[in-house]
Amino acid sequence: MNWMQHRAGSVGLALALTLIVSAAARGADDPRITSWYTLDSSRLARLYRTPAKQAANQPETTWSNGRNTQAFPVRCGVQQISSSSNWVYVSSTGLPGQIMGPWEGGRFPNLPVDQHFIFAIPLHPVKQSGDAWNRLFEIGMFVDGVRMFDACDAFSYSHARGQDANPRAGIGQGDGIWRRDALVNEGQTFDAALAHQQNWGTYHYHVQPIALRYRLGDHVDFDPATQTYHESAGQPRHHSPILGWLQDGYPIYGPYGYANPTNPASGLRRMDSGFVPRDGRRVPDNLAATGRRQLPAWEAREEHRSAVLTDAETGPEVSDAYPVGHYLEDYAYLGDFGKTQGRDFDLDELNGRWCVTPEFPAGTYAYFTAIDARGNPVYPYNMGRRYYGKPVGCLMRGIFEPVTTNFVAAAEADTAATPKDAPRGSKLIWRDGGYQTR
C-alpha cells in the first residue's frame, strides 16, 4: 500500500501526506521503502489478556505472565526506515497497531513482547536459478512491522512414536516429513487478527493478517460488538495492497488481483490457490484410499527426493484425529495433474505469479495471501515451500553501511511510555535497534 490507503481520520491523513511528500523529496519512491505502514508508529501497543478484559474494553500496555514480561509500554511496529543503494532496513518492535489477544480464552501460556529488531530486504531482488528447496521458518515481514512465519508449526509426525511431536510430547520435533499445518493444529491459539506468539514472545502470522488488511482498506470489515474481522460482502473495488515483503525482496499482496495478470483493465478477482487437499475431489490423489505412503509431487521435486516413502517414513492413516489437511504434505499442486495456471487456478506452487500491480505497472513477481470464497485462509497461505528470489533478507543486529533515513517515528515517546523505574525526567527513545532511556 501507500501511506494513504488507510481508514484514517483527518489527522492520520495529514500525517500520511506529510510522509509521502517527505519520501518523494528524498527520491525514495520504491515501494520497498514507501509501503510500510507507519500511522501507528507513535501509538502504544496494547493487548487483552482475557475475554473479560476484552468485554470490558480494558486493554493493557504493560503485562507479564512470569515468563513473557513487557515491563513498560512500547510503541507499535515500524520505528525507522533506512535505505542504501542495495538494501532497505526496517526497525520495528514487532507489535501491531490493533489490540492483540486474548489467546485461547486467556489460557495460552505465551504473551508477546517488544522484539526491537532490524529487518533487511534487498532493494534489487534477484530470481533464483533452478528449484532449490529453501528451509523456511520466518519468511518475511508485514508492512506493520510484524513477523511473517511459514505454514508449518515446527512439529511433525514421529513414525517411531506413532504420534505427532508437539510442545508437550517430549519427543523432539518429529521426523520432519509429515509437517503439521500451523492453522489446523494451532489455530485455536490465534487471536482475532489470526496471530499468536511462541514461547519467547514473537508475535507473528502464519496466515493472512486480516486485521492489517482491515487497516489497509482491503475488503475487510470489523465488527465492534464482537471485535472480530471478516471478509466484506460483494465484489472488491480495488486491487489488494501490499501486505508485506518476503526475504527475497518480492511483495506479498492481499487476495485480490487483476483477472488478467498483465491487464489492469481486466477487472478484479480473488486469486485462486494452486493447491487442493489430497482427498480425491479435484485430483485423483486420495489419501483416505492410499494412506500417507507417498509425498506429493511438488515436495518430492523441491526436496530432490523420491516421492515414495520407506516403511519408516509413512504417516498416520486418515482419521478424525489426522484428517486430510492436518499436514502440509496433505495438499497436491494442480499443475502436477495437467491443470494450467491462469486458466484453472491463479497462483503457482510458490503462491505467486508474474503480474502488473498498482505499485509495479511494468510488472513484478508477487505473492498473494490465499483465502477461499468465504474469506478463510487456505494452504499455502502466504508462500509455498520455496522462494521465487534469492532469500538474502534477514534480521540484523545493526546497520553497518552509510544509509539514507527515509522515516523516523516520533523522536521521543510520550511520558506515559517511559518506564516507571527510569530516572526522573528521562524519556524513552529508539536507538541502535531497541528502546533506551535518556
Along the chain (438 residues), what's the average pLDDT of each consecutive run of 10 residues?
Answer: 34 35 51 96 97 95 94 97 97 98 95 96 92 73 97 94 89 93 96 96 97 97 95 96 97 98 97 97 96 96 92 97 98 97 96 98 98 97 94 93 94 43 38 42
Question: Hey, what amino acid is at 358?
Answer: P
Report if residue 312 sits inside a domain. no
**Residue whose grid cell is 477461499:** 372
Report if residue 338 sits inside a domain. no
Report if residue 141 sits inside a domain. yes
* Total of domains in the chain: 1
Per residue in 138-188, pLDDT tens? 999 999 999 999 999 989 999 999 999 988 888 899 999 999 999 999 999
333, HSE (Cβ side, Cα atoms, 13 Å): 21
Which one, of 100, 113, 365, 401, lies nearest residue 245 by Cα?
365
Give residue 5's pLDDT: 35
Q: Are 308 and 291 in contact (CB under 8 A)?
A: no
- 398: containing domain: 10-273+346-437
Report if residue 280 sits inside a domain. no
Phi, psi (deg, nearest 5) at residue 214: -60, -45
Phi, psi (deg, nearest 5) at residue 352: -150, -170
Q: Cell digits for 306?
A: 523420491
Give residue 266's pLDDT: 97
Helix/strand/coil (H, E, C) string of 358-400?
A: CCCCCCEEEEECCECCCCCECCCCCCCCCCCECCCCEEECCCC
Which one, of 382, 379, 348, lies nearest residue 180 by Cα?
379
- Measure the CA–CA gap between 50 and 239, rounded to whole angstroms: 36
293, HSE (Cβ side, Cα atoms, 13 Å): 6
Report if residue 5 sits inside a domain. no
